Structure 1
Amino acid sequence: MNTSFYRTIWISDLHIGSTQCQADALLDFLKHNDSEKLYLVGDIIDFWALSKKMYWPRDHNTIIQKILRKARHGTQIIYVPGNHDENVRDYDDYVFGDIVVKNSDIHTTVNGKRFLIVHGDEYDTIAKHHQWLAKIGSLGYDWLIEINRFLRLFRRLFGRQSHFSLAAFVKFKVKNVVQFISDYEESIVRTLKNEGLDGVICGHIHHAEIKEIEGFLYVNTGDFVESCTAIVEHQDGRLELIRWLTQEAPQLTQQHDGELPHPG
């Protein structure tokens, strides 16, 4: 597979240091995709998981090395911390190994569209005001991911498609979870739509999407835990959401030319 080169790439919710991280798919993505600028949009290293259990296999070390190598070779890398790596927020505007830490950033596409880059937990009322509840929810999510690892194994043994996400299935079937996702998206748009921005690019809820809400472009990078997704900006400013599965061709899921409809 040839290497694709983009103007900008956004990835988030890698959860390095936890058993959730799909390291093989992530390494494959980093190997076959380069860009002028790379945004790491939070929950890159999972300090919540590491505080409970030390887990750092060799391939997680390789991920860090590969990202640092990209920075040394000229990729502009901006690290926007999330709630699972919130300690890094204390180092706003610091530079570590050619990687710049920013708690938020404004990215301007080649066609002049301005996007706020944030992890997104700032707009999640549970994560912001009830962290203990968020951590209980994180434990439940971890449980679903662990069960899913066994489900994938059985599906592979019986010749069925192995890429199946139990957590994603629950998201779309449980009414309260569906409502939470909707509330999260609307909270961000309601807060930002009058800030002179064209959109927001975030992560946090592990639900990749590009969509317009009230003339404002909402973009979510997804994750490398369930869906293995990323957002890319082409050289013409077009945004694309791609799904990356190890040893499979990347799948286009959504794309947007960056142009928003004019009122009326």
Structure 2
Amino acid sequence: MKKEKSDRATNRYKTLWISDVHLGTSGCKAEFLVDFLKHNECDKLYLVGDIIDGWKLKSNFYWPQEHTNVIRRILTKSKRGTKVFYVTGNHDEFLRKFVEYKLEMGNIQVVNEAIHTTADGRKLLVTHGDQFDVITRYHKWIALAGDAIYESTMSFNLWFNRGRALMGMRYWSLSAFAKQRVKTAVNVVSNFEDSVARECKRRELDGVICGHIHHAEIRELHGVTYHNCGDWVESCTALGEDANGKISVIQWVSLDHLNQSPKVSQLRRKAS
């Protein structure tokens, strides 16, 4: 049988970074990520932590076919020559015990952090970032409770935005609103970003790429460049490095499409 040709363009990057996928949870936008991985090629792929949500899988096993498809896409990339670095996070901390054994499976390597050199010669620390979050590091029970609240918020947000869509209104993120408005949350995020940037400067590196707080961003902070991958629960964002070393945030799905099935004909992709 003759295969149909796809009219969808494939983008080429030197490097891609994705984080906070949370496979194993109902909030994971796995179908959108499969589409992203299918239409974006790279020499190196960094999985910057919380790809698999071990916390959630311990209490309630949830693993639909779409989540398996994500793993298959990553394995396919590695088989075709892409070097994959799995950087461990707090939700997939069960993998950290394998780092000391220098676990490698073909083109896939499990690490706690990495130093990436860009095409223009800059050295960047790649880390999930949970070790710079005082709540996650020293008060895990609070982090677990917060995770449960976050998941409940996301469930409410799903039905809330479906109602908004029926009324012709745009997507609105309750969790993002809370992070921006609640003083404690703002302080936690700000302290996290400051700590990551200062550690990067202490090591005399040019910048850092992290995840953890589910907010994609690139900005100058304390004399280094701070990059955050975002997530695949709410924003469907990644970071991409072009052949010249320029790194940009990739917004794969518009907010208007987050509550819809990811039919390719409806996807609107843009890089900012």
With the shorter chain as reference, the TM-score category is over 0.9
1:73 alignment counterpart: 80
Q: Distance in 1 between the 2:145 and 2:210 partners?
A: 22
1:3 alignment counterpart: 10
> SS of the residue aligned with 1:193?
helix
Distance 1:41 1:178, change over 3 A: same
Q: What TM-score, normalized to structure 1?
A: 0.92
Structure 1 residue 144 displacement after superposition:
0.8
Given the alignment of the two structures, is residue 150 of structure 1 paired with residue 159 of structure 2, yes or no? yes
Amino acid of the structure 2 residue aligned with 1:100:
Q
2:69 alignment counterpart: 62
1:129 to 138, 154, 161: 138
Given the alignment of the two structures, is residue 17 of structure 1 paired with residue 24 of structure 2, yes or no? yes
2:37 alignment counterpart: 30
Q: Distance in 2 between the 1:97 and 1:69 partners?
A: 11
Decide which moves more: 48-57 or 94-103: 94-103
Contact 1:11 1:41 in 2 (8 A): yes
Given the alignment of the two structures, is residue 250 of structure 1 paired with residue 269 of structure 2, yes or no? yes
Q: Deviations over 1:146-190 (max 9, x none)?
A: 1111012112222223x4322112111212111111110001122
Contact 2:198 2:222 in 1 (8 A): no
Indicate the RMSD between aligned Cα atoms, in angstroms: 1.2
2:115 alignment counterpart: 106
Unaligned segments of structure 2, at least 5 residues: 1-7, 254-261
1:94 to 89, 97, 103: 103
Amino acid of the structure 1 residue aligned with 2:68:
N
1:224 to 232, 237, 247: 232
Contact 2:200 2:206 in 1 (8 A): no
> SS of the residue aligned with 1:237?
coil
Matched residue pairs, number? 252
Q: Distance in 1 between the 2:247 and 2:88 partners?
A: 22
Structure 1 residue 5 displacement after superposition:
0.6
Q: What TM-score, normalized to structure 2?
A: 0.90
1:118 to 115, 119, 127: 127
Identity %: 46
